[in-house]
Chains A and B, each alone.
Chain A
Amino acid sequence: MSVAQWARDLAMGVRFALTGGREGWTRALLTAVGVGLGVALLLLTTAIPSALDARHEREADRTDITWMDSPAPPKGEDTLLVADLDTEYRGQEIRGRGMEPEGPGAPVPPGLDAVPAVGEMAVSPALRELLESDSGKLLRDRLPDRITGTIAEEGLVGSREFAFVRGAEGLAAHLGDYRVTRIDHFGASDSASEGLDPVLLLLVIVVFVVLLMPVAVFIATAVRFGGERRDRRLAALRLVGADGRMTRRIAAGEALAGSVLGLLFGTAFFLVGRQLAGQAVVYDVSVFPSYLDPSPLLALLVAVAVPTAAVLVTLFALRGVVIEPLGVVRTARPARRRLWWRLLLPLAGLAMLYPMIGQGREGGDFNQYLVVGGVVLLLIGVTALLPWIVERFVARLGAGPVAWQLAVRRIQVNSGTAARMVNGVAVAVAGAVALQMLFAGVDDDYTRDTGRDVSRAQMQVTLSDGMPASATAGFASTAGVEKVYAFSEGSVGDRRTDPESSEQVTVGDCAALREVVRLDSCADGDVFAVLDPSYESDIKALATPGRVLYFDPSYGDDEGARVAWTVPEGVKNARERVGLTANTTTGFLFTPAALDGEALAGLRTEVYLQLDRSVPDHQEQVRNTAAAVDPLADVMVWSATEQSEKFTAIRTGLFVGAACVLALIGASLLVTQLEQLRERRKLLSSLVAFGTRRRTLGLSVLWQTAVPIAVGLLLSAVVGLTLGTVLLKMTGTPVRVDWPSLLSMTGVGAAVVLVVTLLSLPPLLKLVRPEGLRTE
């Protein structure tokens, strides 16, 4: 066999794929769209690492406040004071910075030409839109500065990021505050990211595998579009002298053309999607189109793997078909599918995962290759087992109403097609069920109880050092605020500097103090001490009347106010109680009249707010008040629990990916369904001609998908539970089936089928119009 002959046959196949009038073009287009969607998703996946890197680099380049204990540079011509003014608006995080250059050589943040002057600010394009819109009015009240500039791409991590930089003054006075720092350059010196812990790494690997498997399954399905018509065409070629091998090469050429066209479509989809991605925000994450830059090696792999897979799948599909000159011969009852090799795949997968069972976090990193191999084999096992199970299951189904009979008979004759159709959903659901189980299982490890009593207070405002408690009066009149508990907090020591004994100091009115300790009686001017704390303390010695203590003592270089205070007679006893935060309040407690202004100066003011959640935008109202009272105020919304950021990010990634994959699966099912309907147009038209109700045909289409999907979901639930159990055992977590997520996942899978059926009904009704009988 000469290379020339091969090339000729392949070229003929390519020609068949691209010619053949409207019919041929439609087929080629369906394949190209199908493969293209898969390729676009693959390219997107290959671009994710670079997108994450790009976001990480941008974040590192603009780093100013590091929260690290490194010494700030001394004031100079080249230094800049930076205040962290991050805020939130209707659940959307906003990065904010106040900046005050200390000399002409002060660094300028990335994305800006100059630091805005006082009363002016530069904003990101997304924030500008928000501030200029009606929905941003409340935020505009909080950020009233004149907008004089736009933060360019270099200063933002995402295209839809909300960010502002405003000019500030007097920040030097707040240098001790954790929200203010002095810098001489932007950018973190060491931007290396911390590694993921083994369990999180396992989650990432499994998420990728689970999301990519359905894409591969889908591409394999798409290249089989138009198979029946192609077989008839090949039979015609046999009639004019093509031998069996030639027909296979021609078929390979057709598949090659479809997949190459699909690659082109996929690239186009990706490029369009890349631009659109700049406009999209998914779970608070946005990217610039330039971030989505596929790794060349991975892109090359996609470019080679997709056509190769297409050809192999086509040749594999032709195995059971004998193309004779007078037609396509398919044995009426194809050989029964064998179970043994189908079982081997999941068993091999389990065998690969088995050695890692019980390793947990302490066992060190998981072997990535074994994890990926094991999970892939288990999930491929679903695709291999499904045709066998569908075949066995539908063989036992009896005849019912006409719609049911038409559907069941079709699946019985060609259960492979039905199984292929739902393979993607089954793999995705199996993977998602396993992941949900894993997430639910390790959820406790990554979710921390904050200890905050959200029934008593829902927001906390920390004012910057030196702000008096009296400044908090404005909160009481803020819309949505029911109760205000304001505390000034600090410490007293037995010496001016480096005290041997020190105790916590809390100042508040009687109502506020009663929220943190138990008091028998209270009047303004009273002083209390928790004399019997639950831990060892010197409070009894310190609370001796006449003893001189010092407010805000100095520790080493950290100079405090060191205000002397003499313990008065009649210090009342206070008893511990569960406070507003996880910490219990101990030490001395003062009502406002018990202390003079000098002692109060060294204290930090915290405000806890009980809110009326029925008031619209109550949180934003509080933030606005806080910003007006103290631009450096730190506002926090309380929740009973908080999750590890990385854990949340991975979970978010799963949801984003699952949404994309489910959309793709839905599209693939729809395209497959339409392709099948198109192939059977004439037959369906003749059924309508002799009076078949359209409802009957619609129901038969629904059953044709619903029956295999039911089997597929059952199998995927079993495999998902097995995989989830194995993964939990690997992480050393007690196995617990997360029934709600199992049901919701299978429910989503079923919903996809229902939506696809509904969407395919209009084309079905159009296709079965009696005009379909016309041949001229």
Chain B
Amino acid sequence: MTTAPPPGSLLTAENLRKAYGPTLALDGADFSIHPGEVVAVMGPSGSGKSTLLHCLAGIVPPDSGTIMYDGQELSAMNDARRSALRRSEFGFVFQFGQLVPELTCVENVALPLRLNGRPRKEAERAALGWMERLEVDDLAKKRPGEVSGGQGQRVAVARSLVTDPRVLFADEPTGALDSLNGERVMELFTDAARSANAAVVLVTHEARVAAYSDREIVVRDGKSRDMERVV
């Protein structure tokens, strides 16, 4: 039985199932997020939280279940439409940044805009603006191999925000950073997202990272459960 999504939700998922071979990664998971909301998806390693994120972002299609984004059924879209959506409406931050090592930092940040067809100079100007906000504008001409992990992650955050996405997906964004750098990245990330009114799906297993969220969801054995925030 499916229930109606919470009113005003930007992105919802119902009864998602996804298996990789014999391994069941998601087993009836539900999810919803409102514009401007930061939701932390928590759970132990292998619980299915990254798979949930990949399904929500249209990176992998679920085996069954429904994903609705802004009134459209994401799970029914073909790959080209999902890709277009990811280019224009979504932003991504991964654990290791996944910056293209050959491009300079500013080129990396400008890349999503360029993929959307923006001219290079214009894209790089916008990229530099985001790099300033994330305090890494001095690294513009450096390559990822020449900057620290924390700096690289801030560049990755700038890249995720440069298209003014409506939803940001962050998969263990501070997993490779020390606590000081991790906190700084999270502060900048969530501030920037809130000021842009972007929803953030934050996958983490660290409570101190989850503390930056408005709401927490725990995934265990492929099932999700909303947590009451204890203040």
Q: Does A693 contact B (CB under 8 A)?
A: yes
Chain B proximity of A403: nearest CB distance (Å): 10
- Residue numbers in B under 8 Å from A776 (CB-CB): 45-46, 50
Q: Does A683 contact B (CB under 8 A)?
A: yes
- Residue numbers in B under 8 Å from A696 (CB-CB): 115
Q: Does A774 contact B (CB under 8 A)?
A: yes
Chain B proximity of A95: nearest CB distance (Å): 61
* In the complex, chain A residues 741-776 whose Cβ is within 8 Å of any chain B Cβ: 770-771, 773-776
Partner of A691, one of B94, B101, B103, B112: B112
Chain B 25-68 against A: per-residue CB contact (8 Å), 1 yes, 0 no?
00000000000000000000110001100100101100000000
Q: Does B14 contact A (CB under 8 A)?
A: no
B94-A686 in contact (CB<8A): yes
Q: What separation, in Å, do the CA atoms of A406 and B115 have in the docked complex?
A: 11
User: What is the total number of residues of chain B having a CB less than 8 Å from a CB of chain A?
Assistant: 34
B54-A770 in contact (CB<8A): yes
- Residue numbers in B under 8 Å from A691 (CB-CB): 83-88, 90, 112, 115
CB-nearest residue of chain B relative to A693? B83
- Residue numbers in A under 8 Å from B103 (CB-CB): 405-406, 409
- Residue numbers in A under 8 Å from B54 (CB-CB): 689, 770, 773-774
- Residue numbers in B under 8 Å from A710 (CB-CB): none
Chain B proximity of A216: nearest CB distance (Å): 29
- Secondary structure at chain A's binding surface: helix, strand, loop or mixed? helix
Q: Does A688 contact B (CB under 8 A)?
A: yes
Q: What separation, in Å, do the CA atoms of A330 and B145 have in the docked complex?
A: 9
Given A399-B120, A689-B92, A773-B94, also A412-B83 (CB < 8 A): no
Given A690-B91, A773-B94, also A332-B100 (CB < 8 A): no
- Residue numbers in A under 8 Å from B88 (CB-CB): 691
Chain A 319-345 against B: per-residue CB contact (8 Å), 1 yes, 0 no?
000000000001010000000000000
Q: What separation, in Å, do the CA atoms of A414 and B103 have in the docked complex?
A: 12
Given A332-B143, A399-B120, A770-B54, also A689-B59 (CB < 8 A): yes
Q: What separation, in Å, do the CA atoms of A332 and B146 have in the docked complex?
A: 7
Chain B proximity of A774: nearest CB distance (Å): 7
B107-A688 in contact (CB<8A): no
Q: What separation, in Å, do the CA atoms of A402 and B94 have in the docked complex?
A: 21
Q: Does A687 contact B (CB under 8 A)?
A: yes
Partner of B86, one of A406, A689, A771, A774: A689
Q: What separation, in Å, do the CA atoms of A10 and B145 have in the docked complex?
A: 30
CB-nearest residue of chain A relative to B120? A399
Chain B proximity of A679: nearest CB distance (Å): 11
- Residue numbers in B under 8 Å from A693 (CB-CB): 83, 115
- Residue numbers in A under 8 Å from B111 (CB-CB): 402
CB-nearest residue of chain A relative to B98? A686
Chain A proximity of B157: nearest CB distance (Å): 13
CB-nearest residue of chain B relative to A682? B98
Q: Does A413 contact B (CB under 8 A)?
A: yes
- Residue numbers in A under 8 Å from B91 (CB-CB): 690
Q: Does A142 contact B (CB under 8 A)?
A: no
B120-A409 in contact (CB<8A): no
* In the complex, chain B residues 120-170 whose Cβ is within 8 Å of any chain A Cβ: 120, 143, 145-146, 160
- Residue numbers in B under 8 Å from A686 (CB-CB): 92, 94, 98
- Residue numbers in B under 8 Å from A689 (CB-CB): 54, 57, 59, 86, 92, 94
Partner of B145, one of A332, A687, A692, A771: A332
Q: Does A179 contact B (CB under 8 A)?
A: no
- Residue numbers in A under 8 Å from B86 (CB-CB): 689-691
Chain B proximity of A470: nearest CB distance (Å): 80
Q: Does A514 contact B (CB under 8 A)?
A: no
B101-A413 in contact (CB<8A): yes
CB-nearest residue of chain A relative to B142? A332
B102-A409 in contact (CB<8A): yes
- Residue numbers in A under 8 Å from B98 (CB-CB): 682-683, 686-687
Q: Does A410 contact B (CB under 8 A)?
A: yes
Partner of A774, one of B20, B90, B143: B20
Q: What separation, in Å, do the CA atoms of A693 and B91 have in the docked complex?
A: 16
Q: What separation, in Å, do the CA atoms of A773 and B86 have in the docked complex?
A: 15
Q: Does B114 contact A (CB under 8 A)?
A: yes
CB-nearest residue of chain B relative to A408? B102
Chain A proximity of B121: nearest CB distance (Å): 10
Q: What separation, in Å, do the CA atoms of A330 and B144 have in the docked complex?
A: 12
Between A686, A690, A774, the greatest number of chain B beta carbons within 10 A of the residue's beta carbon is seen for A690
Between B57, B59, B88, B101, the greatest number of chain A beta carbons within 10 A of the residue's beta carbon is seen for B59
Partner of A406, one of B51, B59, B100, B160: B100
- Residue numbers in A under 8 Å from B115 (CB-CB): 402, 690-693, 696
CB-nearest residue of chain B relative to A775? B50
* In the complex, chain A residues 654-701 whose Cβ is within 8 Å of any chain B Cβ: 682-683, 686-693, 696
Q: What separation, in Å, do the CA atoms of A410 and B145 have in the docked complex?
A: 13
Partner of A770, one of B60, B107, B143, B160: B60
Q: What separation, in Å, do the CA atoms of A113 and B155 have in the docked complex?
A: 84
Chain B 158-193 against A: per-residue CB contact (8 Å), 1 yes, 0 no?
001000000000000000000000000000000000
Q: What separation, in Å, do the CA atoms of A688 and B146 have in the docked complex?
A: 24
* In the complex, chain A residues 514-548 whose Cβ is within 8 Å of any chain B Cβ: none
A413-B45 in contact (CB<8A): no
CB-nearest residue of chain A relative to B50? A774
B145-A688 in contact (CB<8A): no
Chain A 136-180 against B: per-residue CB contact (8 Å), 1 yes, 0 no?
000000000000000000000000000000000000000000000
- Residue numbers in B under 8 Å from A682 (CB-CB): 98
State the 7 A-B residue pairs at the shortest beta-carbon distance, nearest first. Answer: A691-B87, A686-B98, A691-B86, A770-B59, A409-B102, A410-B102, A413-B102
10 more A-B contacts (CB under 8 A) besides A399-B107, A405-B120, A690-B160? A399-B120, A405-B107, A406-B102, A683-B98, A689-B54, A689-B86, A689-B94, A691-B112, A773-B94, A776-B50
Give 17 A-B contacts (CB < 8 Å), ordered by A residue.
A330-B145, A402-B115, A405-B114, A406-B102, A409-B100, A409-B103, A410-B102, A683-B100, A689-B57, A690-B115, A691-B85, A691-B86, A691-B90, A693-B115, A696-B115, A771-B60, A773-B94
